[in-house]
Structure formats: C-alpha cells, structure tokens
Amino acid sequence: GESVGLHLPTLSVQEGDNSIINCAYSNSASDYFIWYKQESGKGPQFIIDIRSNMDKRQGQRVTVLLNKTVKHLSLQIAATQPGDSAVYFCAETRGQNALNFGKGTSLLVTP
Amino acid sequence: DTGVSQDPRHKITKRGQNVTFRCDPISEHNRLYWYRQTLGQGPEFLTYFQNEAQLEKSRLLSDRFSAERPKGSFSTLEIQRTEQGDSAMYLCASSGTSGMSTDTQYFGPGTRLTVL
C-alpha cells in the first residue's frame, strides 16, 4: 500500500547545530502533512504541519519544507537543544482520515 | 489539563483476560481516533469516530477488539481474550472542527499494555 518513510533511522547532532530530518511519502493524493515529536513513554506531540498548497511553513525554531514534485518532506530544527532529543515522526493524510505514520527518526543531541 | 487524557497509563494482564481502556478527548473535538504503537514503529490506525458514529475500522482491529463512543464524548477500547501480541502502546487522538479540510490530531499520553 501507500507508505510514508524516513531516510535515516538515527541522527546525532551537536548542541547548537541545526538538524534536518527527512521524510518521503508515496501517496500523491495526500494533502496534509504533520511532524510529531515523541519522547520515551509519552504520546506524540504536535510540532508543525503543512498543507499541500504550501511549500514552506515556519514555527518557533522549526521549519517544514514540502516538495510535492519529489514527494519529500523535511523538518528543520534551528539551534538544536538537548530537550529536542526524541523520536520524530512524519505523517500524512487526506481530509479527516487517519494519519499514516512512518517509522521515525531518533534525534540525539550531544553537548 | 485541557488535553487528551487516557486511563490507565499502564496495564499488565495475563493472556486470555479482557482489558478496557478509556480516552477523554479535548472537550470541543468531535473526532476521536485510536492507534496502536509497537516498539520502534510509528502509530498504526485502529478506528475512528465522528461524534458517536464509528466511521472506519482498520483490518488490524480483529473481532477481539471493540470500541465505543456512546455519547460522542469519551471512548473506550476493549480487547477480549488478550494475546501476547496485543502488547503495545494504545494511543488516542482527537481533532476538532476548525472548518479546515483537515484538523490537527492531538494525542494523549497512551496506555501501555503488557500481556504476560
């Protein structure tokens, strides 16, 4: 079936550096994309979302880029902090349907 | 706390027993979703309610699983005759009526089920 996947399962960055987490999706009908952060033992926490009529959206220290041509989504975290260490999931859907998640990227921030 | 809440947070049971989990969504949200997450994987969709109507079920939702949302507010997920393969984190999410084509789903803390 259609899938959402991540290019790298783990990412290690130094504190203060910028982080980029990538995600590929295959369902060209998807019109809504979202990034979640999940800490150990907790539920996914909303970070930022983007709709298919946009290419870029910025939040506080985070930016999501959407390239519909190559079906690619990325999450950029500026000035990564130790508190950013977590697993990051991208997910996609269309309408009010269920989210389709990828496996996740584990981000480790080292001092 | 105005977020999604789930109870219990942890449940340990013996194989063959029945278990029931509860989810209280964000109060103004009319959509409620159940997902299951196993270690190292992303959440997988189980079922979805709009108000009290169960609109969609995943093939993962075997006949041992049943979910209800009788008054369109809280929801329960019951697993009968639990198996070791049911061990997972059960996540609930809710979304509102912003008028947009898609509303953000906000997740609860999950219920960790361990079947011995």
B45 and A96 in contact by Cβ < 8 A? no
pLDDT range class, residue A3, cuts 50, 70, 90: low
Q: Is B45 exposed, middle or buried (0-12, 13-18, 19+ CB in 10 A)?
A: buried
Distance from CA of B55 to the nearest CA of A (A): 10
C-alpha–C-alpha distance, residues B22 and A41, integer Å? 18
The predicted pLDDT at position A6 comes to 47
pLDDT of residue A5: 55
Q: Shortest CB distance from B107 goes to which of A43, A49, A100?
A: A43
- Band (pLDDT 50/70/90 cuts) for residue A27 is confident
Q: Read off the pLDDT band of A102 (50, 70, 90).
A: confident
For the segment A73-95, the average pLDDT, to the nearest whole number, is 95
Contact B94/A at CB under 8 A: no
Chain A neighbors of B40, CB-CB under 8 A = 103-104
3-class secondary-structure state, position B84: helix
B56, amino acid identity: E
What percent of chain A has a predicted confidence (pLDDT) above 70? 93
Choice among A92-96, B8-12, B88-92 with the minimum mean pLDDT: A92-96
What pLDDT score was predicted for residue A2?
44
pLDDT, tens digit, 9 for 90 and up, residues B87-112: 999 999 999 877 676 789 999 999 99
Which of B35, B45, B103 is facing A96, going by the closest CB pair? B103
B32-86 pLDDT per residue, tens = 999 999 988 999 999 999 999 999 999 888 999 999 999 889 999 999 999 999 9
Query: Under an 8 A CB cutoff, do A43 and B105 touch?
Result: no
| B88 → chain A, closest CA residue | A41
Cβ atoms of residues B81 and B13 within 8 Å:
no
Give A31's contacts in chain B (Cβ within 8 Å). 101-102
Closest approach of chain A CAs to the CA of B81, in angstroms?
Answer: 25
Residue B19 near residue B67, CB atoms below 8 Å: no
Asked whether residue B11 carries a pLDDT value surpassing 50, the answer given is: yes
